[in-house]
Chains A and B, each alone.
Chain A
Amino acid sequence: MKRTGLLSFLIIFIGIVFIARLFYLQILNNSYNSPLLNNSAVKVMYDYPERGYIFDRNGVLMVANQLSYDVMVIPREVKPLDTVSFCALLKITKEEFKEKIARASRYSTRIPSTFLAQVSKDDYASLQEILYKFKGFYIQKRSLREYPNNSAANVLGYISEVNDAMISNKSNYHLGELIGTAGVEKTYEKILRGVKGVKFIQRDRFNREIGPFKNGIYDTLPISGHDLTLTIDAVLQQYGEALMANKRGGIVAIEPATGEILAMVSTPTYDPNLMVGRDRSKNFTKFYLDSINLPLLDRGLQAQYPPGSPFKVISALVALQENVITPESSIQCFGGYKYGSGKGAYMRCHCETNGSPVALNKAIYRSCNSYFATAYRKVIEKFPTPTEGLNVWSKHAKSFGLGNYLDNDLSVGQKGSIPDGNLYNKIYPNGRWRSTATISNAIGQGEVLTTPIQLVNMTAAIANEGFYYTPHIAKKIKGKTLDKKFTTPIYTTIDKKYFKPVIEGLFDVFENPRGTARGSIVEGIQICGKTGTSENPHGQDHSIFIAFAPKDNPKIAIAVFVENGYWGSRWAGPIATLMIEKYLNRETSRPLLEERMFEGSIQEEYDKQLKEILKVEK
């Protein structure tokens, strides 16, 4: 019966082959099982939500939206067309046309991508009438950012088209869509963006749309982005920007009782409206490549300077905490401090006290280097080895939020630097270093670096007598409570009682007839502050000022940094006090001083430096 078996055998064999093939196709070979998006039977249309508005703390609109029109393309639906008239219509060159088509095709031939972004309203009107002739192209409405008061570019940031890397990282972004890439737009992207709506449309094999896919059960409506209220005071921000005109530097002001950032100025800056629309990429490139003015650098957050004299306050507080001085202990200063036997071991001092006893109060308002160097040395030498001493000192300084990232809701930041024993062990590998080698730290020079925001945070901690809230920029997010880390106070390692005498000293900086900021005194406001002049190897000293006011119930703490501004009371002091006055009184009483700040320019100094740099390079 051998003959009867052949056909049965073949039937079973073929059956197994077919099932194996189906198994391969339907189960093993997943490449065919593509999601809806890659499915040629389904067309995807996005409905873009309106991005959330951004307001300042008083409800002033800072960022709004305007309508824009994007020309979209689905490459595989494009039919041969009259490129000359098409390019003329869109005002692009033929090369651009080719490049754009190639770019869209590379992304996907089926999924729509942006062919030409942000066509103006006038172009839109004429396009709309003719575009139907060009198959595969259509217009999509989208909202665009608008900045009504032309300020706070560094705070607000900007949005830009997602790049290829972002697309592959974030599956819910597609070619041509916008994403916040700097500032608040970046940190609060999720809240501002909203959720785009999706419509799936069933197509047949001729690519004709034949109705909603599965009666629209997968379709979603767009959800508008949430509005965001910032802690920024738009008026103060704009005022700060005006004061800093023609000067490089940064101002950061915060409310000590909450850690809310009231103003964050960085100059040179740019008009945020330049980062919108079709000229965006041109402008961006211009700013990006400007290595002299660095307009994209947020100096309030990213520029690290030696803090100079304001840092002496920390030296004093650490010495008080470590019980090596009392507010009453005094020294004598004869124009300098000799800390070693060598000839160079001498720190000059400009306190001009001429040997009269200098206690804490006078040391602060006269900014006496000798006093703080002595106090610093006492702290370090309290411990058996300088490494231990410096580590304790470093721990105290860092508890003011210095020397590390603040971990807040700003998109950029810098660590700054607070040295500890390990750093010097590395610099002097044989371990043979003493407190005197690091003496410059006492007066905010040496290895100490801070950013303006760290400095103002330190000021707030002093104003609060021992604690601070992490400085943050968001005040209210619709429907969402603020992150807990912004509402929990962070305590410094200095006891509250030691702040009183220090604050008195800071008050005398203005009140004492010999105070270093006597010239910036403001009628009716009790300001505590400290001037600073930080040495700088490249040119003139930086002008620095920290302050808070009013003394008994601090409403604002501020740090001002003016690059190459000679000395603290020349630029930074007046700017800081004008800002305080503006914030507390909403108006200023010193029109002449104000005028001088508005008009004052350090451009000459900057040009001189640039020339020297160019000379060196030659």
Chain B
Amino acid sequence: MRSRKDNIFHGIDWILVLFYFVFIFLGWINIYAATIINDNQSELLNFSTEYGKQLIWIGLSIPIILLILMFEAKFYEKYASIIYGSSLLLLAGLFILGKNINGSTSWYAIGSFSFQPSEIAKAATALAIAKLVSDKQFNLKKLSAQAQALLLLFFPAVLIIMQPDPGSALVYTAFIFVLYREGLPFYYITIGFIASFLFVITLLLGYPVTLISTSILFVCILLFFIFYRLKAFKKGWIKITGIYLISLMFIFSVDFVFNHVFEQHHRDRFNIILGKTVDTKGIGYNTNQSVTTIASGGFFGKGFLQGERTQGNFVPEQQTDYIFTTIGEEWGFIGSGLVIVLFVAFFLRIINRAEQQKSNFSRIYGYSIVAIFFIHFVINLGMVIGLVPTIGIPLPFFSYGGSSLWGFTILLFIFIRLDANKTYEW
């Protein structure tokens, strides 16, 4: 018993580990392709280059993994609140000690090394949610429980928005899937979808059209109930009217928020994706370049280091948020499609493992990380292939950057650690 416990690799799901290393490897060779440009020296360990630095981050993630695996699973559950609290402190501390890079104070800089605490906060919040919701007394059907969970998500999200880094804060909406899995009523999801639907429609058609069409729909529904379901109408008309009025308010507020709260560059990003603005030079440059670059890959791609758009540095931030364009151009439909399939398989594997957990804490944590990975995947790839407005968040394991790599590594390996314990009696 003791010897098994000493072996930190005991019970580990090697399939997830394999996924991890495949992603890291694919990510690195594409960072290499995206940043090698015309440096004729191709030494892998040239640490002044970004691919060289990424190699260091990858190397340093090994001790982090070992450290995570060394702690007992119980440790994470026990200290979840403390980890969550410290991460909030780290986030708050940014306002005093943080370094401003590209307009947002998201970084601690120590010498040439900088570190982004919001990457750690994801794991901390996941742990905290898991701990909160796994309590047997906790019932998400109750409003108070819902409020508690919301509050837990609210703190890190607001601190991150204030940096300001709204893209990273968006990640916390992913927890709605976790909460739903654990008993949150379905109408929250419905409301979420309706709200996003109305949001897009309002932006696309303008609020007068949306208002009129919503009203027509409302009248039709009322008439339907009056003539065919009179009983139900008598019971439910208040509800229907209430939903209608809330929708109206929402449409108004969307218009208001969009035109008065959003800044111009936010508006531009939405307008480009919705096709209301055609602009390939200024604000639409990134999206246009990334879509063109991916499309130019064709079926088989141009081959490793053969992408002239990648080599010509046409896509800004190609090694970070736009790393997928390199895959698209150099490896074509085959390569980029494979990456998507790998991600889907990876997510399903985590869900599969999570569902097999005996401990609620492990299951909820597993769900949390798959939701976090998934929302990164959706937003990042959606942005790169031109389906989602430009929101700068990284593609897990692929994008260049130490903090994000380590953040995702920590997220994943805490789960691997928890998962390794499922058969372990203690």
Contact = CB atoms under 8 A, between A and B. Distances in A.
Nearest to A206: B313
A3 B294 contact: no
Interface string B168-194: 000000000100110100000100000
B340 A203 contact: no
Contacts of B183: 3
A27 B294 CA distance: 11
A7 B312 contact: no
A202 B311 contact: yes
A11 B344 contact: yes
Nearest to A40: B314
A27 B333 contact: yes
B387 A21 contact: yes
Interface in B23-40: 37-38
A19 B340 contact: yes
A40 B374 CA distance: 34
Interface in B345-391: 347-348, 351, 355, 367, 370-371, 374, 377-378, 381-382, 385-387
A4 interface: yes
B309 interface: yes
A202 B333 contact: no
Given A6-B177, A18-B385, A26-B295, A202 B312 contact: yes
Contacts of B351: 4, 7-8, 11
A440 B294 CA distance: 77
B295 A202 contact: no
Interface string A174-217: 00000000000000000000000000001111000011011000
A27 B334 CA distance: 11
A17 to B, nearest CB: 8
Interface string A4-16: 1011101110110
A476 B377 CA distance: 69
Contact of B333 (A26, A32, A40, A211): A26
Nearest to B309: A41
B295 A25 contact: yes
A67 interface: no
Interface string B27-66: 0000000000110000000000000000000000000000
A25 B385 CA distance: 8
Contacts of A37: none
A22 B328 contact: yes
B396 interface: no
A7 B314 contact: no
A26 to B, nearest CB: 4
A23 interface: yes
Interface in B145-203: 177, 180-181, 183, 189
Given A18-B340, A202-B312, A213-B308, A11 B298 contact: no
B180 A22 contact: no
Contacts of B381: 18
A39 B292 CA distance: 11
A42 interface: yes
Contacts of B311: 41, 202
A26 B308 contact: no
Contact of B374 (A7, A23, A33): A7
B134 to A, nearest CB: 16
Contact of A214 (B306, B336, B355, B387): B306
A29 interface: yes
B289 interface: yes
Given A27-B299, A32-B295, A210-B312, A22 B181 contact: no
The residue among A14, A18, A202, A204 with the most chain B CB atoms within 10 A of its own CB is A18
A15 B296 contact: no
Contact of A204 (B177, B312, B374, B385): B312
A210 B38 contact: yes
Contacts of A4: 181, 351, 355
Contacts of A32: 291-292, 295-296
B312 A205 contact: yes
B348 A8 contact: yes
Nearest to B184: A3
B306 A14 contact: no
Contacts of B347: 8, 11
B297 A26 contact: yes
Contacts of B328: 22, 25-26
A14 B347 CA distance: 12
B331 to A, nearest CB: 10
Contacts of B340: 15, 18-19, 22
Given A7-B177, A7-B181, A26-B328, A15 B294 contact: no
B341 interface: yes
Nearest to A36: B308
Given A14-B378, A15-B343, A18-B381, A26 B181 contact: no
A33 B295 contact: yes
Given A11-B348, A11-B374, A203-B312, A19 B337 contact: yes
Contacts of A26: 294-295, 297-299, 328, 332-333, 336
Nearest to B314: A205
B289 A25 contact: no
A409 B189 CA distance: 80
A19 to B, nearest CB: 5
A205 B290 CA distance: 12
A18 B340 CA distance: 8
Contacts of B333: 22-23, 26-27
Contact of B370 (A7, A12, A40, A210): A7
B387 to A, nearest CB: 6
B296 A33 contact: yes
Interface string A46-76: 0000000000000000000000000000000
B365 to A, nearest CB: 14
Nearest to A1: B355
A23 B333 CA distance: 7
Contact of A15 (B180, B315, B341): B341
A210 B308 contact: no
A39 B308 contact: yes
A27 B337 contact: no
Contacts of A29: 295
A10 B381 CA distance: 15
Contacts of A210: 37-38, 312
Contacts of A203: 312
Given A15-B340, A211-B38, 5 more contacts: A12-B348, A23-B337, A25-B385, A26-B297, A202-B38
Interface of B: 37-38, 177, 180-181, 183, 189, 289, 291-292, 294-299, 306, 308-309, 311-316, 328, 332-333, 336-337, 340-341, 343-344, 347-348, 351, 355, 367, 370-371, 374, 377-378, 381-382, 385-387
18 contacts: A4-B181, A7-B177, A8-B351, A11-B370, A11-B374, A15-B341, A18-B340, A21-B387, A22-B333, A22-B337, A26-B295, A27-B298, A27-B299, A39-B308, A41-B314, A204-B313, A213-B308, A214-B306
Interface of A: 3-4, 6-8, 10-12, 14-15, 17-19, 21-23, 25-27, 29, 32-34, 39-42, 202-205, 210-211, 213-214
**6 closest A-B pairs by CB:** A32-B295, A41-B312, A15-B344, A25-B295, A26-B333, A41-B308
